Amino acid sequence: MVVSSQAQRLKPHAIDVRSPMDPVHWFLDDRDDVRSSYYLEDVATEFHVQGLELDWSCVVWDGDFRYGEDGWLPYSFVGSQWQHIRKEERKSYLKNAYRVLLTRARQGMVIVVPYGDVDDHTRAPSLYDGTFNYLKSVGVKVL
């Protein structure tokens, strides 16, 4: 399971990018070791997987890079809200982070776009719907 290092609102799904993972165990240990990627308990970010190939990947999308009427929109989660990223360098960095995540898998990939939560303004369905609909419109199969 791989996520953007800026994916701060996946914690309700038990995905915490701030929880350190051990790359040696995550990449090399087998399915009997809870620290391995097989267990889907620890996530790797674009920093961990850049330049590497994974047999399979599960990319979990957050509201940090979402598709809207004006195309791809970069956000940063600060305090208790999303803030639009305005600096071109940071926009480019976030776009590249998702490029890295989406190009690691050799055999197959699953992309998870959360439904969102109507009771949580930081995870409102509208933050995810545009991305889900865009991916579907370009041919990503819905499971």
What pLDDT digit, counting tens, does each position of 76-112 carry? 999 999 999 999 999 999 999 999 999 999 999 999 9
What pLDDT digit, counting tens, does each position of 41-60 carry? 999 999 999 999 999 999 99
What one-character-per-residue DSSP string does 17-82 give?
A: TTS---HHHHHHS-TT-TTSGGG--S-B-HHHHTT--EEEEEEE--TTEEEETTEEEEEEEETTEE
Question: Coil, helix or strand for 140?
Answer: coil
Q: Chain centroid to CA 32: how far?
A: 25
